[in-house]
Amino acid sequence: MTEQTANSAAQAAGEKFLALNSGNLAAYLESCVKCANCATACHFYEVTGDPKYTPAYKLFPMAKAHRRTMWPWKWLGGPKITEQDLDEWEELLFDSCTMCGRCTQVCPMGIDIASIVAASRQAFSAAGRGPADLRQAAENVIEKGSPLGVTPSVFDGRVEWLEDDYEVDIPLDREKAEVLLTVSSIELMKYPKSIVAMARLMNQAGVDWTFSTKGYESTNFGFLAGRTDIAKLSIERLVSAAEAIGAKTLIIPECGHAYGVLRWSGANLLGRPLPFEVLHITEYLSQLKSEGKLKFKPMEGSITYHDPCQISRRGGATQAARHLLEDATDFREMTPTGNYNWCCGGGGGVQAMERATDLRHKVFQIKMRQVEDTGAGMLISACANCRLTMDGSKDYWKWDKELESLVELLADHLIEDEPHPFDAKPHLATNV
């Protein structure tokens, strides 16, 4: 990179930082009391002891831009963002932040550092910076339809294969349905049984549902990479697909950030209210269980549950999973649990960053200790990204605990009788 190009990139980042520096973000920057409570709440600081991983440090990029709007800097023209700044900040804002929000739980001022990191990533994107693999995953959404390259035709073929192989009805591209179910391409390519499990549960409950090739990918790598244009595109596809079939509910499957981006930010990005309810799969299945539409056999063995950060702490769906696990004969809570549970280490796109692999494995040691302290033999999660992260670190550390998806566990223990009818339509091929 030439000096001129570097300066241009730094200038672009600086301008974006300034453009974002208003409202809540500015209030957060003025509120930090330097108490350092956030340090011991962060898994990256906890496993390394390195002060640079203190969450408050992640305020610095935005804070430097913020100071340019204050006296005397706004008259003196500084301090400016430099290429050296970007080099130093990139690891802090991408590799070592899962945007889990645990630091906010302990912040006496309620500073949402995750939102500041998300905004700061937008500035890096404006400068053409950020991990190359994360940027590529976001670009794949434009070119192929999903971060892992699952095109509509691949999705169609995958569903057909799952139907044939597992002898389960998986409705696709129905003209009308009350519920639109989405997928994470992680599930589609790595954990396809979770899709079969969701179909079995929905069919048993008599839900009027479908997948759509017009809007199927729930994960939002545009948000993770700081690309608001791609984040908006991902949301538009889902919203359009749901509107086209008249859906009253859109279900986000076992994927963390996808849930928060659509449910809490979707309307803002689109500039209009969403004409349907957005629920995580655990929330929806919990409702079905409460209505008596789903019943489960006792789940044997000792089980503990990992709370995905975006679903529980930032999403508020903490109790739904526990309601679904009431049939476990030996359920054991971690310490801490619920909204204070530790992150898996792979959120915020960290799982997709090759260069962050070693740090991610180190972080997982906290989760291992949590599970070991319970004595449970099985670890359950309701997020495909968490599951992928934990599977990788489990293999790295040669850990002997069993990892399982919540929906797969539920499907394995489903009491099946005659399923409720839902006027199923035949599988429709798509034009791609």
Domain chopping of the chain, boundaries:
3-130, 135-288, 294-412
pLDDT value of position 27: 82
CA angle 336-42-378, nearest 5°? Answer: 40
Residue 226 to residue 64: CA distance in whole angstroms: 19
Please confirm whether the linkage preceding 336 is cis (ω < 30° from 0): yes
Do the Cβ atoms of 330 and 302 come closer than 8 Å? yes
The CATH architecture annotation of domain 294-412 reads 3-Layer(aba) Sandwich (3.40)
CATH dotted code for 3-130: 1.10.1060
Q: How many CB atoms sit inside 10 A of residue 50's CB? A: 10
The mean pLDDT values, 10 residues at a time, for the chain of 432 residues are 64 79 78 92 96 91 71 55 89 96 94 93 93 96 93 96 96 98 93 96 98 96 95 96 98 88 91 95 98 97 96 92 97 96 96 96 98 98 95 97 97 82 43 34
pLDDT value of position 20: 75
Instruction: Residue 408: name the closest of 287, 259, 282, 250 by CA.
Output: 282
pLDDT value of position 431: 36
Residue 325 to residues 185, 194, 295, 371: CA-CA distances in angstroms? 26, 17, 11, 17
Q: Reduce the secondary structure of 251-319 to three states and give it as a string.
A: EECCCHHHHHHHHHHHHHHHCCCCCCEEEEHHHHHHHHHHCCCCCECCEEEEEEEECCCCCCCCCCCHH
Residue 264 bridge partners (DSSP): none
Instruction: Please report the beta strands in 31-175, taking only residues with DSSP state E, as ranges in sequence order.
Output: none
Whether this prediction's pTM lies above 0.85 is answered by yes
CA angle 238-244-246, nearest 5°? Answer: 100
SS3 assignment, position 244: helix
Q: How many CB atoms sit inside 10 A of residue 324's CB? A: 26
Residue 281 to residue 250: CA distance in whole angstroms: 9
pLDDT value of position 432: 32
Token pair 């709370």 in the structure block, residue: 307
Residue 116 to residues 20, 44, 55, 61, 194: CA-CA distances in angstroms? 9, 17, 11, 9, 33
Residue 359 to residue 424: CA distance in whole angstroms: 47
Residue 57 to residue 346: CA distance in whole angstroms: 20
Residue 330 bridge partners (DSSP): 302
Fold of the CATH domain 135-288? Glutathione S-transferase Yfyf (Class Pi); Chain A, domain 2 (1.20.1050)
Instruction: Residue 312: name the closest of 286, 332, 340 by CA.
Output: 340
Instruction: Residue 84: name the closest of 151, 188, 169, 13 by CA.
Output: 13
Strands ordered across the beta sheet of 209-210:
209-210, 179-181, 249-252, 277-280
pLDDT value of position 351: 95
Q: Reduce the secondary structure of 398-432 to three states and give it as a string.
A: CCCCEEEEHHHHHHHCECCCCCCCCCCCCCCCCCC
